[in-house]
Structure 1
Amino acid sequence: MPVDVVAARGAALARRVRELDELRAVSAEGAADSPPTVAAYVSIGGEPDTRALIDELRAAGVRVLLPVLLPDNDLDWAVYEGPEHLVPAGWGLHEPDGPRLTPEAVTQADVVLLPGLAVDRTGLRLGRGGGSYDRVLARLERAGGRTSLVVLVYDDEVVDAVPAEPHDRRVHAAVTPSEVHRFRH
């Protein structure tokens, strides 16, 4: 996709995410001493652009957690403090340069924004195959499953079916540049 199309679709995606009922609810509940927390990610390659979104969330007072890839492909987390605090981390990834919070920190999130190659109409998400987010989803389930799970994809990446494994977990919604898809479990 041309750079201007990626940027335009990223801006549309950010608008849709900001309109999510889940984000409005946690923003309304968040007090000054306890801001809402969203776990997000810095997009890479052909993924929908998330940079404007994470900046907007942070500017709105949301505590944004970003992943830090560990050697075993699990994810640690750190607070996003702005684009000047992102450092290259290999594989095209950018990670926060701040203190690491532990892999369990994601369980503090009210909403988790997930990358995906595709999502099917039942909420099964297809990832890149490294298992990083499979571990995150399992960790969130063990913590009680109260976190809203939202995958960010392009419109043509919402498909009828994706390959599934027994360990796969469904997401609650998919946000594309043109709409929000809700899934019932």
Structure 2
Amino acid sequence: MNDGERTKQGWRAEILARRKALPEDVREQEAAALAEGVTQLGAATWVCAYVPVGREPGSVAMLDALRATGSRVLLPLTGEPGPLTWGEYLGPNRLRRGRFGLREPDGEPLRYALERAEILLIPALAVDRSGVRLGRGAGYYDRSLGGCRTDARLTAVVRDDELVDHLPEEPHDHRMGWALTPFGGWQRLGERAGN
């Protein structure tokens, strides 16, 4: 079966299985590379990011590296299904357990977070070269990204082999303009061949 014939559910099952089988030392090397990679663009005033959970690429070190460049880092606050709200990351000791076991800032939600963010680092299971992002299927990000600045750098954070040629796309999906991978760094995404 080629990439274009796989369903989103098929992609999710395959990628989650690969992440589960990934040796811990490789995961740690990738996390260190992502922490270094996020700084390659220099400081942005506002960056929306996330705390990786389970086998997602990255670590809290990625957030600390962003703060060290002078960026204010915003993380999603879990709530009812709908657009995400955001709080400021002030260090690992200021994170609490949120809904679904996610770690989130312990402060109050910030208004207009997406309207301020110049860069958004978005968790993904995969992204294709045209910018189609595969998430976990709950739709939180797709319901939120319409509130971004038009010039915001929407960036899917994935492992190197999770940047693929083609993913299935649905009308509600928001395309990414960039991918950030551990060893490929920042990569601009564009149109699919033939489009």
TM-score, normalised to structure 1, is 0.85
- 2: CA distance, partners of 1:71 / 1:19: 35
Q: Which residue of 1 aligns with 2:35?
A: 14
Q: Which residue of 1 aligns with 2:133?
A: 125
Q: Which of 89, 101, 110 pairs up with 2:110? A: 101
- 2: CA distance, partners of 1:55 / 1:82: 7
TM-score, normalised to structure 2, is 0.81
| Secondary structure at the counterpart of residue 19 of structure 1 | helix
Question: For 1:25-58, what per-residue CA distance to the aligned partner results, in whole angstroms no more than 9, with x for missing partners?
Answer: xx3xx7xxxxx11000000111102310101111
The count of aligned residue pairs is 169
For structure 1, which segment, 45-54 or 75-84, has the greater mean C-alpha deviation from structure 2 after superposition? 45-54
Q: Which runs of 5+ in 1 are unaligned?
A: 31-35
AA aligned to 1:129 is G
Summarize the alignment of residues 1-150 of structure 1 with structure 2, pairs less than 5 Å apart.
Answer: 1-20=22-41, 24=42, 27=43, 36-102=45-111, 104-140=112-148, 143=149, 145-150=150-155
- 2: CA distance, partners of 1:3 / 1:184: 32
- 2: CA distance, partners of 1:73 / 1:86: 22
| Secondary structure at the counterpart of residue 101 of structure 2 | coil
- 1: CA distance, partners of 2:190 / 2:166: 15
Q: Which residue of 2 aligns with 1:170?
A: 175
For structure 1, which segment, 43-52 or 117-126, has the greater mean C-alpha deviation from structure 2 after superposition? 43-52
Q: Which residue of 2 aligns with 1:157?
A: 162
AA aligned to 2:140 is S
- 2: CA distance, partners of 1:162 / 1:92: 28
AA aligned to 2:189 is F
For structure 1, which segment, 111-120 or 157-166, has the greater mean C-alpha deviation from structure 2 after superposition? 157-166
- 2: CA distance, partners of 1:84 / 1:16: 23
Q: Which residue of 2 aligns with 1:33?
A: none
Pairwise CA distance, 1:184:
2.8
- 1: CA distance, partners of 2:128 / 2:63: 25
| Secondary structure at the counterpart of residue 91 of structure 1 | helix
Pairwise CA distance, 1:139:
1.7
Question: For 1:145-165, what per-residue CA distance to the aligned partner results, in whole angstroms no more than 9, with x for missing partners?
Answer: 111111100011111111211
Question: For 1:94-131, what per-residue CA distance to the aligned partner results, in whole angstroms no more than 9, with x for missing partners?
Answer: 010011114x4222101010000100110111111111
Q: Which of 178, 189, 193 pairs up with 1:183? A: 189
- 1: CA distance, partners of 2:56 / 2:48: 17
Aligned CA RMSD, in angstroms, stands at 1.6
Identity percentage over the alignment? Answer: 46
